[in-house]
Amino acid sequence: MNEMTELGRLRSEVPAPTAEALAAQEDRFLAALAAPATPATPAEQEDRRHGAFPASRRGRRGRLLFGGLLAAAALAAAAVLGPVLAGPGARPTAYANSAIGIELRGDEYVATIKDPFADHALYSEAFRAMGLDVALDLRPASPTAVGEVFRLGFSGTTESDRIGGTLRPEGCTPGRPGCALTVTVSKDFGGKGVLYLGRPARPGELYQNNADAGRKGEALEGYVVDGRPVAEVLAETRRRGLEVTFQIIEPAPGGDGFSVDPRGQSAKVGGHWVVWAAEPYRQGAVRLLVSEKRVPKNPVTGD
């Protein structure tokens, strides 16, 4: 059992004291501190040497321990902030649990992700406590896609309903102090929403976003693969210490799009094949979209 679980148990077992009881307890505690120390009798000194305590002193120790339990219960209550209400019938203005904190700022709710690897149910719990029907699904993303919205679906009740996600402050580096994934929801949002947002990937996790591996901050930064032979691109990936996986595509005539045959992915890719795109695959690896035949324009980008 961890410390937070134990504190939660104590919180549930110790009834909330009344204001009068707390005041009386404080008076007794202060009086006890102010009382002059009573010299120990020879018998008490003998007891102490053998690890024994007089009954009167055990009683005081027990009262101090009880006060400590009340303090522990108070800490447990502080660990999870319940909804803070603005007034009767109003939506809460703030809520927090171990995974996310939400507060009303001006005309929108700002949700700050404290644990991007938490159970998604904790995110839903927080939004629900705020009176919002919003689901948040965080997916592993390549470095430049952390904070990007992969997919967004919602049904609003008014034209002003809006929902979105990003990194704050804008342009910050994930994992550094002060940089956090955030979700914003309009103050009067009355619909239903689901937001798929990029989060940092754990080691070995496959990225679930589509991006250009050659853009700034990605594994092939500054390198353009468009139309290059596979052998040439592989030389560059080896130079950068990257692993490579292939996705074989079938370009449409003229290069207007492409298709992918899952059954044809085991074909041996030759060095003369054409690389049309490179995507982040996982940490230290990229995926090359290739075809055996060359077409007039890039079937992936349409250029």
Mean per-residue pLDDT for 180-195?
93
- Whether 101 shows a pLDDT value over 80: the answer reads yes
Report the alpha-carbon distance of residue 238 to residue 44 in Å, rounded.
Answer: 79
pTM (2 d.p.)? 0.67
DSSP state string for 50-119? TT---HHHHHHHHHHHHHHHHHHHHHHHHHSEEEEESSTTPPEEEEE-SSEEEEEETTEEEEEES-TTS-
pLDDT tens figures, 196-252: 999 999 999 999 998 999 999 999 999 999 999 999 999 999 999 999 999 999 999
Q: Decide: helix, strand or coil at residue 155.
A: strand
* pLDDT beyond 50 at 27: yes
Q: Tokens standing for 10?
A: 């104590």
Burial class (CB within 10 angstroms; exposed 0-12, middle 13-18, buried 19+) of 236: middle
All structural domains of the chain with their residue ranges: 3-79, 82-200, 211-303
pLDDT reading at 50 higher than 90: no
